[in-house]
Structure 1
């Protein structure tokens, strides 16, 4: 068997009921939810388990909720699974990866992502920014389109390079609209507007990055015990100072997910375990390399199945 990577989902994977089964089945998982409730001063666990969905979907709630669910599953998974060769997470998921790599404590992580979500929501007034997924278009062609639109005064940029033929663009509402129209004209198979509260992973998020930098200055970070493949560079990182710098940059920089997965594949990873709600990353990894073995850990049954197949 080749090398193993644990990967952690980001915003968009949330679902009401997430984490409930693992918290009921395992005391260590329940303790993670209890720690989140105490750290944040409200019942995040109840929001994960019972909703309402509209509240769970708010960025300021979604980010700590997904992190907590992923960390609860991780707490059970790592008791039986050997240490991975790499970890990585998609956007918000990078914080879960840092918890897995023991570079960041869970309590610090959940407090940071709650603030990160608030900073991202507040960086651009509601309705001024947007994001859209562009399907069936080459990176270089779409890059040329967003550069041309931005040069005309409406900011739009590549935000999430997820897998071949799936790229998310982000920017001002007008910039995204213009780029979407031009992408369709240039042959994109489909363009889907995303239901998000802001232009995440674009330069319009720089105010959020600056505010996050001030928070991260006082947060204890250790060198990672497992290499973390960073969103910003798609390269492995272990040193605490570099991790801190990249977390700040990540807010306003594109998520190089396809490149990150290719980095791990080239390093000998052939098995990916997605730990957290949903199966989004598994789908993306399969589109990057059909031969990759992928497992999901999102409840007790999927956790037991993955352990049995990997034994």
Structure 2
């Protein structure tokens, strides 16, 4: 059995994430404690108790999802669970994948995604931009509509998630103009996402410029296992490649469907989503129907993954 770990991004957050594992595993609790210390506020309290509105603010969401994912990873490792041969993460989840691969320290990663979230929010004031999932159209069809709607404002196809699901991002005017055009083109549904900025769009270039300085200040090692970069849908194998991909990722599309296909073509049969929710599992199932899918976010899901390890040992 060939396994990849995949790590979720924004829109996977929920109040209570990580709490059960922390109450049973000191290794998970230690990750949250480390995040609280590094950030200088109680991220753990926000994850465990909310409120959801605060957890949805991007400068909170990004370190919160990363911390929960790495806490789940710590538990898998302590329990001698499955060992992956490759990793990938969706948007901010790429930082979690790089921590798993030893390319970034957890402390540096949690600082970076906190700043990344702040810079992204500063690039477009709250309420002036957003994102929406478009169901039922191909990425090419969505891109064509975005080009048509761009006379009204900025709107771009930014998350190429799976067949029939593409996320768009832009300013309020661009998103408003795109809605009717997407429906005319045959979109089945358009779902606004619980995020507070138009991530991965060209509006994020100022955020990338700020993040570049922070990336220059941290040590980035060669990954210990192949990690798929969002921006290229290809493996990054050296520290310099990692740094370049994280920078471009801020203002370029997340090529998730292609990333999953790359892993599957390389022999990955089983995907384990490490962190809150099952968003990525749903996307992977639509891309690779034959894939085996698991997740780890609480005791019940952990037990299923550990049982899987015993089956193949």
Q: TM-score range by the shorter chain?
A: over 0.9
CA distance in 2, matches of 1:29, 1:131: 32
Residue matched to 1:56: 55
CA distance in 2, matches of 1:75, 1:29: 6
1:1-311 superposed matches below 5 A: 1=1, 3-79=2-78, 80-150=80-150, 152=151, 154-311=153-310
Aligned to 1:206, what secondary structure does the other structure show?
A: helix
Aligned to 1:220, what secondary structure does the other structure show?
A: coil
Q: Could you tell which deviates more after superposition, 141-150 or 30-39? A: 141-150
Deviations 1:264-300 (A, max 9, x none): 0111101000000101111111111111000010012
* Paired residues of 2:123 and 2:206 also in contact (CA < 8 A): yes
Q: TM-score, normalised by structure 1?
A: 0.97
Aligned residues: 309
Give the drift of 1:170. 0.7
Q: TM-score, normalised by structure 2?
A: 0.96
- Which consecutive residues of structure 1, in runs of 5 or more, have no partner in the other structure? none
Give the drift of 1:180. 1.8
* Paired residues of 2:132 and 2:167 also in contact (CA < 8 A): yes
CA distance in 1, matches of 2:197, 2:156: 13
* Paired residues of 1:227 and 1:237 also in contact (CA < 8 A): yes
Give the drift of 1:82. 4.3
Give the drift of 1:138. 1.4
Aligned to 2:191, what secondary structure does the other structure show?
A: strand
CA distance in 2, matches of 1:65, 1:197: 15
CA distance in 2, matches of 1:293, 1:218: 39
* Paired residues of 2:11 and 2:195 also in contact (CA < 8 A): no
* Paired residues of 2:152 and 2:173 also in contact (CA < 8 A): no
What is the root-mean-square deviation of aligned Cα atoms in Å?
1.1
CA distance in 1, matches of 2:300, 2:144: 46
Give the drift of 1:89. 0.5
Deviations 1:51-108 (A, max 9, x none): 1221111111111111111001101112313431110000011110000001000011
Aligned to 2:222, what secondary structure does the other structure show?
A: coil
CA distance in 2, matches of 1:91, 1:240: 18
* Paired residues of 2:130 and 2:195 also in contact (CA < 8 A): yes
